[in-house]
Amino acid sequence: MGTKRVAVITGANGGLGFAIACRLLDTIPSSVPLTIVITARHLRKVVETIGRLRAYAKGRDLLTFDYVLLDLTSVASISEVSNQLLSRYTHIDYLFCNAGGGDFTGIDWPAAFVEVLSNLKDAVTHPHFKVERIGRVSRDSLGWVFQMNVFANYFFMKQISTLLSGGGRVILISSIESRIAHDFDPEDIQLLHSDQPYVDSKKSLELLHAAIAKRWADELGVLIYITHPGICQTSIFAEYLNFLTTFGMLCLFYIARWIGSPWHVISAYKGALAPVWAAVDAVPEADPVDGVTYASASDRLGRCYVKRTEDVTDEDRKNGAILLQELDKLALNSLERIKLETA
């Protein structure tokens, strides 16, 4: 029997998060005791998710589930959940920072048709036709998308860093779409003026990783990997598609893969390959955390593999340091506000 392992998966109730849980169950031997901590905003989703995972892992005796109700748009929620985990566990082996979102409002259909007709592969890899709301603010008076996708992840990591120290692994989930992000703007760190805050937030997450990966590895013994799932089906944009457009999108994905795109893995389970590989199988000496992104990729026949890219620049590290400084200020201010509210 192996040493017990604990995995926390944010946003595990569907899409990529659920696929990560399934692939984790398929990767870690059944002889190893495993606890999967599910996070979601609503208890109903937690109950449904645990039921589905129990059915998936039927017959696995050394598997237990736990849950916490987490809202990434509330620093109070993150703080409360962190305290719950600190009281329940002495160590967390894997933290998958999967939950997040975008503030999409629809599709610019004329632009979509033009992009697909002019360069199909690029159009379904780096789309410019998704329309996003500009300037949405959270209840904590922070940029809503920025808080969910960047600050919440960092704040959560900091709050439970003692549980991760000495060998824990954090898996940050970026996106292939970060390649079309705007240049980093130190005057708009919270992305309140961006017309594509989701894409820009994923780039910010990569800048954060560039700033902290080596430091956390050296000082805390925490390995932070930045990964992305390639292009796969998730629920993040599903409300703007119907049956016909969803079918059409899938057809375009398969065509893009057949004509040479390595990123169209299509299924969420295949998209979960890189995150789970980084958590369980990556070897630090051969698979460094600093300056590298590990992504789920596929050949033309759908055979999945982990693709490594090294594209961090000196400018990225400089901007990452600026971003980190602002995140630390926000974290300190958030803790002070929580103390005042609970006093």
74 in catalytic set? no
Query: For residues 94, 97, 98 and 100, what is the CA-based torsion angle, rounded to 10 degrees?
Result: 160
Contact 49, 18 (CB under 8 A): yes
Contact 289, 222 (CB under 8 A): no
Q: Select which of 202, 203, 204, 269 is catalytic.
A: 202
E-strand stretches of the chain: 5-10, 34-40, 63-69, 94-97, 104-107, 130-132, 169-173, 223-228, 293-298, 304-309
87 in catalytic set? no
174 in catalytic set? yes
> Which amino acid, one-letter code, is at 68?
V
Contact 186, 174 (CB under 8 A): no
Query: For residues 261, 265, 271 and 277, what is the CA-based torsion angle, rounded to 10 degrees?
Result: -70
Q: Select which of 67, 94, 154, 198 is catalytic.
A: 198
Instruction: DSSP letter for 241, please.
Output: -
Q: Select which of 79, 82, 138, 174 is catalytic.
A: 174
Residue among 172, 150, 145 nearest 228 (CA): 172
C-alpha 124/C-alpha 128 separation (Å) is 9
Residue among 215, 136, 155, 208 nearest 178 (CA): 208
C-alpha 3/C-alpha 228 separation (Å) is 28
**Distance in angstroms between the alpha carbons of the first and the last residue of the chain:** 46
C-alpha 325/C-alpha 126 separation (Å) is 30
Place of tokens 């904590």: 140
> Which amino acid, one-letter code, is at 276?
V
Helix (H) or strand (E) holding 199: helix 197-220
Please identify every residue annotated as catalytic.
174, 198, 202
